[in-house]
A = this chain, B = another copy of it.
Amino acid sequence: MAEHTSRIGFIGLGIMGAPMALNLIRAGYSLIVHNRTREKEAALVAEGAQAAASPRDVARQADVVITMLPDTPDVEAVYFGPEGIFQAVRAEHLLIDMSTVSPAIARRIHDQAVLAGAESLDAPVSGGDVGARAGTLSIMVGGSTAAYERAYPLFQAMGKNIVHLGDAGAGQVTKACNQIVVALTIEAVGEALVLAQKSGVDPHRVRQALLGGFAQSRVLEVHGQRALDHQYDPGFRVRLHRKDLAIALNAAQDLGVSTPVTALVHDMMNSLLANGLGDRDHSILIDELARRANTEIR
């Protein structure tokens, strides 16, 4: 096991954060952890981490602070709140937000960090809890090259496909782009498979045939198979994907970008939530398209 001198703070020990923190411990890092629901710290403490009472406490003790939080209000509270990271920020700090939030928030954290002489990175991930546990996350990074290089060994402990996209916010922009493409490709696969089903053509065979040509995608492969198997345990929840599309739509609105299909699929996800399906896998969009056509993929 490697030894590292800098102390790493990790805030947010949910379904993603906990295994990411664990991978850092296993790579030889000393961790100071915090979670709003404090009981969740215990599992990491059992692995050698130290618990801290607040984000501010984490920042006091650590040189690098990583955050992995569910949504924008959580990130705002953890960074800017009265017990937040910025109450204890120092010039030595590297702040890495790996949550998925808007590029605007990433830039706000960055500006505030710079004011204190510190550094920050936005580094949202994809790959889900499976990737988090396996240490194979894709990590999309925005921020300075110096900060990126400083963080790189940490990213290596948590992910595999690590890409530096540009300045502050570029990681979140890329994540938003990723979520647009995934959502719209699920919709594409859904419209096609439902048409096949209702035409009396076996959607299993259609999926197989389409994988051999220009219609090929990871979504057709993975989510197409999920729809055929009616396997909608998450995976990636509709609720979270809807949140990510809302981030994309807000960014698009700020910039004057026409994203008609993102808006439409966001709206369909609203409908899934309204029908109590927010905690199912996002591929259930295909099932909803089948329902609208009064059929079932089988």
Contacts and interface: CB of A to CB of B under 8 A. Distances in A.
A243 B29 CA distance: 59
Interface stretch (A5-13, A70-78, A217-225): A217-225
A227 interface: no
A176 interface: yes
A104 to B, nearest CB: 10
A109 interface: no
A293 B165 contact: no
A164 to B, nearest CB: 8
Interface string A148-173: 00000000000001010111011001
B212 A161 contact: yes
Interface stretch (A16-24, A41-49, A111-119, A249-257): A249-257
A15 interface: no
Specify how many copies of this chain sit in the oligomer.
2
A267 to B, nearest CB: 9
Which bracket fits the contact residues of A? 35 or more
Interface stretch (A51-59, A61-69, A188-196, A272-280): A188-196
B173 A201 contact: yes
B248 A103 contact: no
Contact of A200 (B166, B208, B261, B264): B166
Given A173-B196, A255-B195, A261-B191, A178 B215 contact: yes
A231 interface: no
A126 B214 contact: yes
Contacts of A183: 188
A218 B213 contact: yes
B220 A195 contact: no
Interface in A98-152: 103, 126-127, 138, 140, 142
Given A161-B213, A215-B218, A251-B199, A181 B189 contact: yes
A255 B217 contact: no
A177 interface: yes
A205 B163 contact: yes
A182 B180 CA distance: 16
B264 A261 contact: yes
Interface of A: 103, 126-127, 138, 140, 142, 161, 163, 165-167, 169-170, 173-174, 176-178, 180-185, 187-189, 191-196, 198-202, 205-206, 208-210, 212-220, 222, 248, 251-252, 255-262, 264-265, 289, 292-294
